[in-house]
Amino acid sequence: MNTIVSPAAGVAHAPLKIEHPTVEALRMFLRNPSAIIGLLMLALILAVSIAGPWVYPADPFEIKAAPLTPPFTEEAWLGTDYLGRDVLTTLIYGGRATLLVGAVAALLSVLIGITLGAFAGYYGGKVDAVLMRVTEFFQVLPALLFAMVVVTLFSPSLVTVTIAIGIVSWTGTARLTRAEFMKYRGLEFVRAERAIGAKDARIIWKVILPNALPPLIVSATLAIGAAILFEAGLSFLGLGDPNQMSWGLMIGSSRQYVLSCWWAVAFPGAAIFLTVLAVSLIGDGLNDALNPKLRER
């Protein structure tokens, strides 16, 4: 590395140090207090949901005490629901299903959106027109209503709920991916790849997509929170898997007893709120860290 010498004073300065974009983005993310709070919150929720059943083994559907036992008692720390099930146990075990559905549904949504958006943005023309008409068709449909129809037509299982959420929530990612590909497809480094004979598949997945990833990563992060809310909404309406405990199922099964058993609704509702808040804070932190214009502030 060359040393820079000032021609006026003849003083040697320290060599310029240029940070890698990934290192700079990570440094900016770690300097964001709200993003760190969100990361710690999500890590705690994941730890309780994943390791909790091993530390606190129990059956979430088992009757533990008298129905409607209030919280902060010896029989049940967080009380019992209208059937006498321990709210703490159902809260711990329900986190697994809720977080799993949210993560897998968001992954499915992102995969569909990136694939269709990449083809539309790269090829343009008739391919773009057809794929965007398909995207608009799904976009104008009420997402929750469409998911309800899909779950109703098939058995209400975790797999069905996950697929239903994934196929109704990909349109935003598809439009974002299309815009990114349209921005990059005419740049010099893409034309250079075409000039050396690179195939379309290589240009799409190995040349353009890595450069378009920052906003897509933020979109994927926020999609997890949206998927968790979708799962809670379907379970609240009675369209969740009745054999798998989830936070949405806890709220939905106790909604008729909200006045006499508020804790059975409040605690899973707070868990959903904190999880979505944590994911949103992480998404905002990633947006600030990965967006060059925001990094300059």
C-alpha to C-alpha distance for 37 and 281, rounded to whole angstroms = 8
The residue to which tokens 């091993």 are assigned:
54
- Report the DSSP beta bridge partners of residue 86: 80
Confidence band for 293, pLDDT divided at 50, 70 and 90: low
Beta bridge partners of 4: 13
pLDDT at 230 over 50: yes
pLDDT score recorded for residue 19: 56
Exposed, middle or buried, 89 (CB in 10 Å: 0-12/13-18/19+)? buried
Q: Is the pLDDT of residue 296 over 70?
A: no
Domain boundaries along the sequence of the chain: 20-295
Lowest mean pLDDT among 18-22, 27-31, 147-151, 233-237: 18-22
Distance separating alpha carbons of residues 241 and 156, to the nearest angstrom = 5
Cα separation of 271 and 101, whole Å? 15
Taking CA atoms, 82 is separated from 44, 60, 241, 250, 261, in Å, by 28, 14, 19, 11, 7
C-alpha closest to that of 219 among 287, 271, 285, 151:
287
Domain 20-295 carries which CATH code?
1.10.3720.10
**Spatial distance between the Cα atoms of 215 and 158, rounded to a whole number of angstroms:** 29
- Residue 42: pLDDT band with limits 50, 70, 90: very high
Q: Give backbone dihedrals phi and psi of 238, rounded to 5 degrees, phi first.
A: 85, 15
In angstroms, rounded to a whole number, what is the distance separating the alpha carbons of residues 26 and 146?
38
Where is pLDDT greater, at 278 or 222? 278
Give the pLDDT score at 295. Answer: 52
pTM value is 0.84
DSSP tag of 4: E
Tokens of 193: 């790849």
Q: What is the mean pLDDT of residues 212-224?
A: 89
209 closest CA partner among 103, 286, 115, 125: 115
Q: Count of residues for the chain?
A: 297
Average pLDDT of span 231-248: 87
